[in-house]
């Protein structure tokens, strides 16, 4: 299994909703990432978990809350989002420092 | 501070023609360099990477890239483009922080292939 699986593929939510994005990999990778990508822009790093501990938080607003319940799962909890948070949210994982990142196909999020 | 520059926002080539996508980086040490491709609404797929050694690296789908330290460049090439190569291409610099890879992406080059 060489895939990173993200669910849901599409999500529409209101500004008062609470939702979660999920990411799963069974490659034994010990680092997992959340990236945000606006239309026609490059991905921007949000969070990195290394060995299930949050190692990088790129000054992301608290309305985004990551969680890594175990080495295979990564969640992104969403609460009170703004319309400008609408974007493609990409999850990725990597085994070691010199290895490539495997990306999921993303969750396309629309905040109304 | 590190940065990645892709000077071409959009490139159009004819099917069967050769392709070169430019990438320049700014980083204090020898970086880890990557090229990723992204189809619309999809995640990113790694084409190739450079860490050390031979400066000409081969990737998937017939792509190659050459690392030129003197020019701080890592340009992507393909001798003959196929219609399926139409996509967005991102160059990225990899940094190692706290045991994880932190990729900084260029702004991307959109490739259009005409018949």
Q: B44 vs A43: CB contact, 8 Å cut-off?
A: yes
Fold of A4-111: Immunoglobulin-like (2.60.40)
Classify residue B30 by its DSSP letter.
Answer: P
Name the residue facing B49 among A51, A100, A103 (closest C-beta): A100
Q: Phi first, then psi: what are they for A106, rounded to 5°?
A: 95, 160
How many Å lie between the alpha carbon of A31 and the closest alpha carbon of chain B? Answer: 6
How many Å lie between the alpha carbon of B12 and the closest alpha carbon of chain A? Answer: 17
pLDDT at B59: 96
The per-residue pLDDT for range B10-56, each reduced to its tens digit, is: 999 999 999 999 999 988 777 789 999 999 878 899 999 998 888 99
Residues facing residue B75 across a β-bridge: B66
User: How is chain A split into domains, by residue range?
Assistant: 4-111
Tell me which chain A residues have a C-beta less than 8 angstroms from the C-beta of B104: 45
For residues B26 and B111, the model is more confident at B111
Distance CA B104, CA B114 (A): 30
Q: A97 vs B106: CB contact, 8 Å cut-off?
A: no
Q: How crowded is residue B74: how many other Cβ atoms within 10 Å of its Cβ?
A: 29
Quickly list H helices, B31-81: none
Q: What is the mean pLDDT of chain A?
A: 92
> Given 2.40.30.10, 1.10.3720.10, 3.30.1340.30, 2.60.40.10, which CATH number is that of B3-114?
2.60.40.10
pLDDT at B97: 61
The per-residue pLDDT for range B58-104, each reduced to its tens digit, is: 999 999 999 999 999 999 999 999 999 999 999 998 876 655 577 88
How many CB pairs below 8 A link A and B? 73
Name the residue facing B43 among A30, A55, A105 (closest C-beta): A105
Tell me which chain B residues have a C-beta less than 8 angstroms from the C-beta of A8: none
Banded pLDDT at A5 (limits 50, 70, 90): very high
Q: A97 vs B49: CB contact, 8 Å cut-off?
A: no
The per-residue pLDDT for range A34-49, each reduced to its tens digit, is: 999 998 899 999 999 9
Distance CA A19, CA A64 (A): 10
pLDDT at A92: 94
Nearest to B47 by CA among B60, B65, B31, B38: B60
CA angle A44, A50, A35 (to 5 degrees): 15
Query: DSSP secondary structure string, A45-110?
Result: EEEEEETTEEEEE-S--TTEEEEEEETTEEEEEEES--GGG-EEEEEEEESSTTSPPEE---EEEE
pLDDT at A1: 63
């Amino acid at each position: 299994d060489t895939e990173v699986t993200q669910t849901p593929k599409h999500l529409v939510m209101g500004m008062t909703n609470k939702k979660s994005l999920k990411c799963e990999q069974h490659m034994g990778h010990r680092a997992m990432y959340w990236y945000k990508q606006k239309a026609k822009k490059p991905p921007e790093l949000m969070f990195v978990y290394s060995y299930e501990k949050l190692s990088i938080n790129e000054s992301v607003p608290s309305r985004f809350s990551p969680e890594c319940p175990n080495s295979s799962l990564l969640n992104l909890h969403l609460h009170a989002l703004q319309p400008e948070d609408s974007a493609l949210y990409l999850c990725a994982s990597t085994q070691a420092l010199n290895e490539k990142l495997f990306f999921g196909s993303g969750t396309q999020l629309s905040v109304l | 501070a590190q940065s990645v520059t892709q000077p071409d926002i959009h490139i159009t080539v004819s099917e069967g023609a050769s392709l070169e996508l430019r990438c320049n980086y700014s980083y204090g040490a020898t970086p880890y360099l990557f090229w990723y491709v992204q189809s619309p609404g999809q995640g990113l797929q790694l084409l190739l990477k450079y860490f050390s050694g031979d400066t000409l690296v081969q990737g998937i789908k017939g792509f190659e890239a050459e690392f030129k330290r003197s020019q701080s460049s890592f340009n992507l090439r393909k001798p003959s483009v196929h219609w399926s190569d139409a996509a967005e291409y991102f160059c990225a610099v990899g940094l190692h922080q706290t045991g994880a890879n932190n990729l900084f992406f260029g702004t991307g080059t959109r490739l259009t292939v005409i018949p």
